[in-house]
């Protein structure tokens, strides 16, 4: 899937692109980015981010893809209804605004999500990586806890780990693996996950896990706030 960007201000274009890259990384979506030019036409079925403060979108760009309109004027949202946009983003665009707008249009990019194929109870499941919250070892293999419910793969936790991106998934100790995006906090009780579970940590693994989580938060928090700082 392709996201095409047309922003009149180069700084705003750079900020939006960095936020989209952060969204892509945390969501595990197979998305490409391109700049709009008269010669480059957005791919059908893609998403086009268009800056209304620069100029209105050409007719050739409307209707072939989902349109996200951006403007510093709130009245532009009403004036743009005739274009049937998929979303409207008030500038300056922050990460929370962008994330919420994309989430409301989840049907547009759902098929672009990277997935983990899991065989469980003679069934094959294709689980989006972003929906995998945490996993644990069991006697028969492993148990995956996802936003869609528990899944019991036939493979071991180490084998499962090998198929997951290491920048998002952490083997916090021998019997547990977590999606760092779904960690809400770390305290003496362990890792508190988005599904309410608390993944325990041994004394030997606590320091290394805390450091890995700190680096993850630092990396992604900087990226998420970058667009807001540029407009601050």
Going by pLDDT thresholds of 50, 70 and 90, the confidence category of residue 43 is: confident
CA dihedral 159, 165, 167, 168 (to 10 degrees): -90
Percent with pLDDT over 70 in the chain: 93
pLDDT at 26: 92
156-177 residue pLDDT tens: 999 999 999 999 999 998 999 9
pLDDT at 227: 46
pLDDT at 230: 40
Burial of 55 (0-12, 13-18, 19+ CB in 10 A): exposed
Q: Please report the beta strands in the chain, taking only residues with DSSP state E, as ranges in sequence order.
A: 2-6, 32-35, 47-51, 66-71, 87-90, 115-120, 123-128, 132-138, 141-146, 149-151, 169-173, 176-179, 183-187, 190-193, 198-199
The mean pLDDT of the chain is 89
The pTM of the full predicted model, rounded to 2 decimals, is: 0.86
pLDDT at 226: 54
- Residue 81 makes CB contacts below 8 A (sequence gap 6+) with none
Q: What is the mean pLDDT of residues 199-213?
A: 93
Start-to-end CA span in the chain (Å): 31
Q: What is the mean pLDDT of residues 59-65?
A: 72
Query: Could you tell me which of 5, 4, 12 has the C-alpha nearest to residue 228?
Result: 12
Q: Determine the Cα–Cα distance for residues 183 and 192; give it in Å rounded to an integer.
A: 6
Q: Determine the Cα–Cα distance for residues 23 and 106; give it in Å rounded to an integer.
A: 13
Q: Which residues pair with 48 in a beta bridge?
A: 4, 67
68-93 residue pLDDT tens: 999 999 888 787 888 888 899 999 99
Contact of 29 with 49, CB cutoff 8 Å: no
């Amino acid at each position: 899937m392709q996201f095409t960007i047309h922003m009149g201000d180069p700084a705003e274009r750079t900020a939006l692109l960095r936020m989209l890259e952060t969204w892509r990384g945390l969501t595990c979506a197979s998305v490409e980015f391109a700049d709009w030019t008269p010669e480059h036409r957005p791919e059908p079925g893609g998403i086009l981010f268009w800056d209304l403060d620069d100029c209105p979108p050409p007719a050739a760009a409307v209707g072939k893809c989902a349109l996200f309109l951006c403007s510093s004027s709130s009245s532009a949202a009403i004036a743009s209804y005739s274009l049937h946009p998929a979303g409207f983003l008030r500038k300056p665009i922050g990460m929370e605004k962008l994330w919420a707008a994309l989430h409301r249009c989840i049907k547009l990019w759902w098929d672009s999500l990277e997935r983990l194929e899991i065989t469980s109870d003679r069934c094959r499941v294709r689980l989006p990586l972003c929906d995998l919250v945490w996993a644990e070892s069991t006697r028969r293999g492993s148990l995956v806890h996802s936003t869609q419910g528990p899944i019991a793969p036939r493979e071991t936790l180490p084998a499962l780990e090998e198929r997951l991106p290491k920048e998002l998934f952490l083997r916090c100790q021998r019997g547990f693996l977590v999606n760092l995006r779904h960690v809400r906090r770390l305290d003496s009780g362990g890792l508190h996950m988005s599904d309410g579970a608390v993944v325990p940590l041994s004394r030997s693994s606590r320091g290394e896990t805390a450091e890995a989580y700190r680096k993850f938060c630092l990396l992604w928090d900087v990226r998420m706030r970058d667009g807001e700082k540029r407009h601050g």
